[in-house]
Amino acid sequence: MELRIEGVSHDYGETEVLRDISFSVAPGEIVCIIGPSGCGKSTLLRFIGGLERPDHGEVLIAGEPPADSLNPLTYIFQDFALLPWRSVAGNVSLVLEDHGIRGAQSRAIIDDVLARTKLSEFANAWPRQLSGGMKQRVAIARALAVRPAVMLMDEPLSALDSQTRELLLDDLIDLWKRERFSAAYVTHNLAEAVRLGHRIMVLSRRPGRIREMVSIDIPLDERPERVLELEKVQRRLWEAMRDEARAADRELSDAG
């Protein structure tokens, strides 16, 4: 299933947020979205996920999602969004209950996704007992439970410390190698983007426009050994957005 975003523009009152955004996410592709603060990255993701509608343009799905997909598009949030009164298994089961899946069928799906995210031994743990990285694994397991065609990931690692972020990046890449999921992945972390993205879309400061689309041809599992090449890509990305990032920070400071 291919995701297509065509001509998306949007204003909030007199503030133009996004202007003429068009790109696609191919099956099995991770597209990372970066840009200065306030450029509309998370707003764009909300439009893609159908949480809001843009003033202009459209989001199209080409082809059919997997036959067993319950939610073709599924979110993973920055703040984990776990219910503290439900166990790990209970948080995962919530999305299945919305589709009327309970009992043995639900348990089989939960057992499967917890095994795939290395959480089987924590099925009965409560969110308060988990580290930040473990909580985000639960959020990923919950997303996998509905067998999405595309995952929409809004800065999912930004609340984690650097060591935990690196470990979870490795987990995501291992998962992608097994599942070949597609994702639109918003991040402000350039090192994270070059580690994970097949393509990286650079947005300008507000109103967000596509300034550059950078492809990285290095296979994901080879990237830890090809650090120097990734650093070159990272420098190119920073050069593409440095001046606008500074201007965006000044604008936000003046507005405050």
Chain segment 177-208, per-residue pLDDT in tens = 888 889 999 998 999 999 999 999 999 988 99
- Terminus-to-terminus CA distance in the chain, angstroms? 42
pLDDT more than 90, % of the chain: 58
Residues 43 and 163 in one domain: yes
Q: Is the pLDDT of residue 255 over 60?
A: no
Mean pLDDT computed over 56-83: 85
What is the layout of strands, in order, in the sheet containing 2-12? 15-25, 2-12, 56-62
E strand residue ranges, the chain: 2-12, 15-25, 30-34, 56-62, 73-76, 150-154, 182-186, 199-203, 210-215
Domain boundary among 147, 175, 197: 147
Threshold 0.85, pTM exceeds: yes
For the ranges 5-14, 42-51, 69-78, which has the lowest average pLDDT? 69-78
Residue 36, preceding bond cis, omega within 30 degrees?
A: no
Residues 154 and 59 in one domain: yes
Q: How many Cα atoms sit within 13 Å of 168 on the Cβ side? A: 24
CA dihedral defined by 23, 32, 186, 8, rounded to 10 degrees? -10
Count of domains for the chain: 2
Domain around 88: 82-147
Which two structure tokens, joined as six digits, stand for 230?
């990734």
pLDDT for 248? 62
CA angle, residues 69, 5, 137, in degrees to nearest 5: 45
Residues 141 and 156 in one domain: no
